[in-house]
Amino acid sequence: MSGEASEFEIIRRYLAPLSANEPGAFSLTDDAAIIKPSNGCDLVIAKDALVAGVHFLKNDRPEDIARKILRVNLSDMAAMGARPVGYLLATFWPKDITTGWIERFALGLADDQKRYDISLVGGDTVKSDNDMAFSVTMFGDVRQGTQLRRNGAGVGDIVYVSGTIGDGYLGLKSSLGALPQLNAITRDYLEKRYCLPEPRIELGQRLTAYATSCLDVSDGLLADLSHISEQSGIHIDIFLKQIPVSDAAQQVLGDGMANETDLITGGDDYELAFTAPRSQSHRIQEIASDLDLQLTAIGQVKEGEAVGLIDENGTRVEVSKPGWVHF
Amino acid sequence: MSGEASEFEIIRRYLAPLSANEPGAFSLTDDAAIIKPSNGCDLVIAKDALVAGVHFLKNDRPEDIARKILRVNLSDMAAMGARPVGYLLATFWPKDITTGWIERFALGLADDQKRYDISLVGGDTVKSDNDMAFSVTMFGDVRQGTQLRRNGAGVGDIVYVSGTIGDGYLGLKSSLGALPQLNAITRDYLEKRYCLPEPRIELGQRLTAYATSCLDVSDGLLADLSHISEQSGIHIDIFLKQIPVSDAAQQVLGDGMANETDLITGGDDYELAFTAPRSQSHRIQEIASDLDLQLTAIGQVKEGEAVGLIDENGTRVEVSKPGWVHF
């Protein structure tokens, strides 16, 4: 891939086609793109940085890496209640990247663009001696004034979480070879949950009408809930036995290869955690049923500060390390 | 900088204050920010990726690195004729980064935020074993339908460039120790031009009324003009002797330490190159005078394709390597 035109050739061959549905992307030929919110909407914008060995594994399939970096950002759109529209992509490729790798990576992008109805609108590609890294800037529409925030949880609200918690963490452990005892089905399920999270976009949009606070769980359930606690100025009690756990994770717990606090501090869930008034609990059940998605009440909002964890005996549990720490 | 809260502490102490003027940034407490174009405007959005050793030098002052990564992106806004408004920042920091370094980096951001009236609205920070790298997503307002593009150059148009060409390239060479003969004043001038480009934002906004195409010169004047040629479907003739060169660069040329084609293929200029109809040349002069900025006619647009270079004898010059190549 040496030769003077190769950056432009890569853009033309593999990336420009990904912008075909978005006229404001100008087929990636210009210095910048034009974006507009839909009528009556504001633009929500988020940017995540992802590095090999931290957010994905260097030997993951290129298609899966592409889809994961989009999904992590789509999860931010979900957390704000936004409908995702498009994204800009900065790729930091190592010098020995092959055209074949980039082609497969672009196929992964195309796949999830279709799935989530989004379009590439711009970005930049560089090569360096570094390991692979990416930065995605995702934007979407949210009806003016309805975006979900972290600061609206009120005393008496119920705390909910979507899906199951801990699968991503166990999937990462398994991918790194730390859970060799797992059977193939369990291993595949957990590793897929790490590798390809499911951003809860429809849920986020439905919640704009009912939730008082919302975020996506990426650093670990407890650590992320502490942001809601802090921003809303309230205390949150979580009941350990109510945390939804998949059959696969249950099996790992049963075998003693991890414990419950690992699951709620591990991160990489990309589920939504949110609060809603008790009076809306039938609405939340309705959404769960419409979307065929498990939504579990796991705690409640009280006066005070911080997040408390309560075991099946009603005893407060201490957690020394509330979540994944980037630094 | 170990300890569980340090990423959040860094954001709170050094980055959140940089978002204080932008309510839609939510003080960097949420998963995403809200942005809106001003009345009658569209949003222009651009994203550049920057790596130590490629786009800046690892030992540059942290303040200067911060300002350069903003200015490279501001230059994209200038190229589109947009008024910059805000940016998202992804930082890939090496594991041994110090709080002192980050503090100085944030001071540099604050400095240029004030200078260019922009605000941080979001982003992400990660640490890894990689060398330092950044991705900035800059956005700005442009009055609907007036954005400058690369595809409008017409036969008979004049080709212009702002400022002087080649200083950035020579500044990089000097910073790398390749021009030890330079006197201190010349060296400082050139190295500063590399280290701290001046995005031509006011120029870009003024040109929306007159220019038929525009871009910023980052990869080398010839290589970048070839994008205008290609997108507009025209040929461009450039007159080598009309290329504006600073006194400092003139001195390097005089000493035989570089030649003229080095200057137009070297890159890192962050000047604007643009085309305008001959009938608007008095307007272009007016803008040059209003902004106290050199705007030089360097060539003309003809039927055909590609970019040709003509020396003082009217002879066509061959250039083997038209510009900086990322890959």
Q: Please say whether the beta carbons of A181 and A255 come within 8 A.
A: yes
Percent of chain B at pLDDT above 90?
77
Mean pLDDT on A123-129: 89
Query: For B162-191, what is each residue's pLDDT tens digit?
Result: 999 999 999 999 999 999 999 999 999 999
The answer to whether the CB atoms of B42 and A55 lie below 8 A apart is: no
Res B239 pLDDT > 50: yes
Res A13 pLDDT > 90: no
Query: For A241-260, what is each residue's pLDDT tens digit?
Result: 999 999 999 999 999 999 99
Report the gap between the CA of B136 and the closest CA in chain A (Å): 9
Question: Which pLDDT belongs to residue B24?
Answer: 85
**Distance from C-alpha of A87 to C-alpha of A220, rounded to nearest angstrom:** 25
The answer to whether the CB atoms of B135 and A130 lie below 8 A apart is: no
Query: For B301-316, what is each residue's pLDDT tens digit?
Result: 999 999 999 998 989 8
- List the single residue in A33, A49, A147 with the smallest CB-CB distance to B45: A33
Q: Across the A/B interface, how many CB contacts are shorter than 8 Å?
A: 223
Range list of H helices, B85-214: 99-116, 167-175, 184-195, 201-207
Question: Which pLDDT belongs to residue A321?
Answer: 59
Mean pLDDT on A52-75: 93
B10-44 burial: b if 16+ Cβ within 10 Å, else e? bbeebbbebbeebebbbbbbbbbbbbebeeebbbb
The answer to whether the CB atoms of A325 and B6 lie below 8 A apart is: yes
Across all residues in chain A, what is the average pLDDT? 92
- List the single residue in A7, A26, A92 with the smallest CB-CB distance to B327: A7
Res A5 pLDDT > 50: no
The answer to whether the CB atoms of B150 and A1 lie below 8 A apart is: no
**Distance from C-alpha of A104 to C-alpha of A14, rounded to nearest angstrom:** 9
Query: For A19-50, what is each residue's pLDDT tens digit?
Result: 888 888 888 888 788 888 899 999 999 999 99
**Distance from C-alpha of A191 to C-alpha of A175, rounded to nearest angstrom:** 6
Query: For A298-320, what is each residue's pLDDT tens digit?
Result: 999 999 999 999 998 989 887 76
- List the single residue in A53, A122, A216 with the smallest CB-CB distance to B31: A216
Question: Which pLDDT belongs to residue B321?
Answer: 59
**Distance from C-alpha of A56 to C-alpha of A24, rounded to nearest angstrom:** 31
Res A4 pLDDT > 60: no
Contacts of A183 (CB under 8 A, 6+ apart): none
Mean pLDDT on B12-39: 86
Question: Which pLDDT belongs to residue A215?
Answer: 96
Residue A307's DSSP bridge partners are A236
Res A103 pLDDT > 60: yes
When pLDDT is cut at 50, 70 and 90, the band that residue B317 belongs to is confident
Give the strand order in the sheet containing A133-143. Answer: A119-128, A83-94, A133-143, A41-51, B33-35
Q: Please say whether the beta carbons of B138 and B216 come within 8 A.
A: no
Report the gap between the CA of B235 and the closest CA in chain A (Å): 17
Question: Which pLDDT belongs to residue B5?
Answer: 40
Percent of chain A at pLDDT above 90?
77
Question: Which pLDDT belongs to residue B195?
Answer: 93
Percent of chain A at pLDDT above 70?
96
Res B51 pLDDT > 90: yes
Q: Is B281 exposed, middle or buried (0-12, 13-18, 19+ CB in 10 A)?
A: middle
The answer to whether the CB atoms of B124 and A36 lie below 8 A apart is: no
Closest B-chain CA to A125: B49
The answer to whether the CB atoms of A7 and B50 lie below 8 A apart is: no
B residues 154-213 closer than 8 Å to A (CB): none
Mean pLDDT on A43-70: 93
Across all residues in chain B, what is the average pLDDT? 92
Angle at A63 between CA A57 and CA A67, to 5 degrees: 80
The answer to whether the CB atoms of B26 and A2 lie below 8 A apart is: no
Report the gap between the CA of B80 and the closest CA in chain A (Å): 7
- List the single residue in A29, A35, A46 with the smallest CB-CB distance to B45: A35
Question: Which pLDDT belongs to residue A30?
Answer: 80
Question: Which pLDDT belongs to residue B322?
Answer: 60
Res A137 pLDDT > 60: yes
Query: For A207-233, what is each residue's pLDDT tens digit?
Result: 999 999 999 999 999 999 999 999 999
- List the single residue in B76, B129, B327 with the smallest CB-CB distance to A131: B129
When pLDDT is cut at 50, 70 and 90, the band that residue B155 belongs to is very high
When pLDDT is cut at 50, 70 and 90, the band that residue B58 belongs to is confident
Question: Which pLDDT belongs to residue A327?
Answer: 42
A128 touches chain B (CB under 8 A): yes
The answer to whether the CB atoms of A326 and B126 lie below 8 A apart is: yes
